[in-house]
Amino acid sequence: MKIAGQHPALPRSDEVLLLVDVISSFRFPGGAALARQALPVARAIQRLKQSLQARGVPAIHANDNEGRWHARFDALQVQHRTQDKLAAEIAQRLVLVGLSTDFCIQFTAMDACLRGCALHIPGDCTATLDPRHKRASLAYMRRVLKADTRRSGA
């Protein structure tokens, strides 16, 4: 497992906020379009993160970021291949937000579900290139993974 920078001991909590790929240069095919979708999502994520932090819920940032870590962050950053295992080890309930709903979010949710985590995936806190794919992915996670996909303020 590659952990960026110095980090505190992993938090133990009934609930953890996992932010997937929210730190991005968007320098990839379709990145500019995804960035436009991600801006309102980022605002919703920030409000949710503040609300959860007020309740003492820890946050973990998980990014692949093409192997580059140029910024310092106040949360733990882990590579994609370990995020679901890590989250399942430290929490019973996972609040999953970020990019992209129909790929990284859905695969992470599937892995976490297999590890016994309850899932809250607020629909207003995820984005993907095609809104139809986002709706289909959220419906799948609600139906198959029994995820709570209500908006973050609901």
Would you tell me the crossing angle of helices 106-114 and 80-90 to the nearest 10 degrees?
Answer: 40
Task: Note the pLDDT tens digit of each residue in 90-125.
Answer: 678 999 999 889 999 999 999 999 988 999 999 999
Task: Note the pLDDT tens digit of each residue in 17-63.
Answer: 999 988 888 888 888 888 898 999 999 999 999 999 999 999 988 87
Q: Does residue 2 lie within any of the structural domains?
A: no
Number of domains in the chain: 1
Q: Does residue 149 lie within any of the structural domains?
A: no
Q: Does residue 125 lie within any of the structural domains?
A: yes
Domain that holds residue 73: 15-143
Q: Count Cβ atoms below 10 Å from residue 151 Cβ, excluding itself.
A: 11
CATH number at residue 26: 3.40.50.850
Q: Does residue 152 lie within any of the structural domains?
A: no
- Per-residue pLDDT band at 85 (split at 50, 70, 90): low
Task: Note the pLDDT tens digit of each residue in 119-144.
Answer: 999 999 999 999 999 999 999 999 99
Question: Model-level pTM?
Answer: 0.79
In sequence order, the 6+-apart residues with CB closer than 8 A to the CB of 79 are: 1, 2, 62, 63, 64
Q: Does residue 4 lie within any of the structural domains?
A: no
Where do we find the tokens 């993160």? 49
Could you give the CA distance from residue 127 to residue 91 in angstroms, rounded to a whole number? 24
Q: Does residue 1 lie within any of the structural domains?
A: no
SS3 83: helix
Q: Does residue 66 lie within any of the structural domains?
A: yes
